[in-house]
Structure 1
Amino acid sequence: MLLPVTLLAATPAPAEEIVVFAAASLKSALDEMAAGFRADTGNDVAISYAGSGKLAQQILAGAPADLFISANLQWMDEIENAGLVAREGRRDILGNRLVLIANDSEQPRVEIGPGTDLPALLDGGRLAMGLVQSVPAGQYGKAALEHLGLWDAVAENVAQTDNVRAALALVSNGEAPFGIVYASDALAGDNVTVAGEFPESSHPPIIYPAALLTHTGDQADRAFLDALSGEAAAAIFARHGFTVLN
């Protein structure tokens, strides 16, 4: 007598969800990169974008993120000093440049230096920037303006925003004639043109560190971190105006 044989199909591994907290300036590029990662692995990537300082404070308060990508070293250092970065889980992945953008497509190119007459350029309008105490683009921007001796002349005209993309939006919508953002944001914005570029020597190096956080425990999280430094991601980030490190 033949006994029935049941063939059990291999059960595919369940998809994982990777929760990422990322600097707002990464949105266009990281959304594209994450979509490719989903297609390749089947794992979902849920990304929360905001200013790096705001995200860091949320992580310090216990927010359940698996990875954090900051737009500067300071906020990642805060997370690491609190013991929240996984062992060998941190790496510097990207760089960027700081630019002055204008709403006027016919704005002549401006040579930014100690002699730049920013009040005359603003002509009573606002200079859009991220929060100068907590948003990296705002911190870099203020550092550059102070280094060049231009901050005091424009401080009262600065419109500070919760993140760099909000500053970009103010210029794009014509609510501010000029703004200070990253070169990658200028590529992503509508109705904006790059009026000038800040000398690299005028501000700290713009570096984006990425890190696994201590409570992460599955391979999907580390695979996403590795993918951030992969060839496919590098091509995407470069196309969106970032400098790819390492």
Structure 2
Amino acid sequence: MRDIKIIIVVIAIVLCSCVNNSKKDAQNRLVVFAGAGLTDALTEICDSFFITNGVEVKLNLASSGTLARQIEQGGEPDLYISASKRWADYIDSLGYVVDQQKTMVAGNKLSLIQPINSKTSVDIDSAIIWSDILADDYFSIGDPSHVPAGKYAVAALKHYGWYTAIKPKMLPAKDVRSALMVVELGEVPYGIVYKTDALKSSKVKIVADFADGSHPAIQNIASVISDKSNAQLLYKYLQSPLAKSIWMKYGFSVPE
């Protein structure tokens, strides 16, 4: 009987130790939901954050709208970084943002792109007859129903008077990286993506950047969703001088 009691005590101690270690591991591991267009810069920032603070960050990358719906349906990130103020405000309106910790961490531009080996070209400041240029081809953008880059693209198309001609030819992608890939593969002659994504690709070239006033300002907004102290630490790190240098390295603009 005495031996059985000792065994029970040992098991209890082991279980308590496992629970405590599990809680500790949870504190030292963060989950970030972020727009797909932030992949490269955010990966480097989170790697730097791990080296500095010893906190591992797992990234869930998709369109900002898809991620917002995941949060609404029970997803539990520690931070949410949206490429759209609209989706950031939506999550805030549902009460997920902790202590009003929500701010823009990086800005971007929008670019018209084509495959690197394309022999054709257009001048966005001249009259363009897209029905003739596209003929039987399509035009790649992120799906404007949930991809911020797609919404920005539609606004720019309307600003330049191209939307009516291009709308029947639009090939909506699940996120901005997918929209880029379609152009990289030469499956379509033109597309609209974030400038940062175009700059990183060796398979496309930028035809032109769209004027800032042709679409809503592109703001990547970070929001704290959990009450972990490390979540707030990462939130501040995203705005640090080192993080800003990484954002700019990948072509993003940063607030002063």
Normalising by structure 1, report the TM-score: 0.89
1:238 is aligned, of 230, 235, 248, to: 248
Tell me, in whole angstroms, the C-alpha distance in 1 between the residues paired with 2:130 and 2:147. 22
Tell me, in whole angstroms, the C-alpha distance in 2 between the residues paired with 1:194 and 1:55. 28
Tell me, in whole angstroms, the C-alpha distance in 2 between the residues paired with 1:91 and 1:107. 42
* Distance apart, 1:123 and its partner CA: 4.1
Greater share of helix residues, 1 or 2? Answer: 2
Question: Partner of 2:169 in structure 1?
Answer: 157
1:142 and 2:154 are equivalent in the alignment: yes
Tell me, in whole angstroms, the C-alpha distance in 1 between the residues paired with 2:130 and 2:50. 45
Tell me, in whole angstroms, the C-alpha distance in 1 between the residues paired with 2:124 and 2:227. 47
For residues 191-229 of structure 1, the C-alpha deviation after alignment (integer angstroms, 9 at most, x for no partner) is: 10001111211111111111001xx12221111111111
Tell me, in whole angstroms, the C-alpha distance in 2 between the residues paired with 1:113 and 1:61. 44
Question: Partner of 1:119 in structure 2?
Answer: 131
1:132 is aligned, of 121, 129, 144, to: 144
1:209-224 aligned within 5 A:
209-213=221-225, 216-224=226-234
Question: Partner of 2:53 in structure 1?
Answer: 41
Seen in structure 2, the aligned counterparts of structure 1 residues 68 and 114 have a Cα distance that, compared at 3 Å, is: farther
Moved more, 117-126 or 229-238: 117-126
Moved more, 232-241 or 43-52: 232-241
Secondary structure at the aligned position of 1:87 is classed as helix
Tell me, in whole angstroms, the C-alpha distance in 2 between the residues paired with 1:123 and 1:197. 24
What amino acid maps onto 1:38 in structure 2?
Answer: F
User: Quick check: 1:100–1:198 contact (8 Å CA) kept in 2?
Assistant: yes
For residues 18-57 of structure 1, the C-alpha deviation after alignment (integer angstroms, 9 at most, x for no partner) is: 1100000000111111111111111100000000000001
Which runs of 5 or more structure 2 residues have no equivalent in the other structure? 1-23
Question: Partner of 2:11 in structure 1?
Answer: none
In the comparison of the two structures, how many residue pairs are matched?
232
User: Quick check: 2:116–2:202 contact (8 Å CA) kept in 1?
Assistant: no
For residues 63-96 of structure 1, the C-alpha deviation after alignment (integer angstroms, 9 at most, x for no partner) is: 0111000001000111011111111311111111
Seen in structure 2, the aligned counterparts of structure 1 residues 245 and 121 have a Cα distance that, compared at 3 Å, is: farther
1:194 and 2:194 are equivalent in the alignment: no
Tell me, in whole angstroms, the C-alpha distance in 2 between the residues paired with 1:109 and 1:223. 47
What amino acid maps onto 1:238 in structure 2?
Answer: M
Secondary structure at the aligned position of 1:45 is classed as strand
Sequence identity percentage: 34
1:43-58 aligned within 5 A:
43-58=55-70
Computed over aligned residues only, the root mean square deviation of the Cα atoms, in angstroms, reads 1.7
Seen in structure 2, the aligned counterparts of structure 1 residues 116 and 90 have a Cα distance that, compared at 3 Å, is: same
* Distance apart, 1:104 and its partner CA: 3.2
Question: Partner of 2:180 in structure 1?
Answer: 168
User: Quick check: 1:109–1:196 contact (8 Å CA) kept in 2?
Assistant: no
Secondary structure at the aligned position of 2:99 is classed as strand
Report which of the two structures shows the higher radius of gyration computed on alpha carbons: 2
Normalising by structure 2, report the TM-score: 0.86
What amino acid maps onto 1:187 in structure 2?
Answer: L
Which runs of 5 or more structure 1 residues have no equivalent in the other structure? 1-12
User: Quick check: 1:18–1:221 contact (8 Å CA) kept in 2?
Assistant: yes
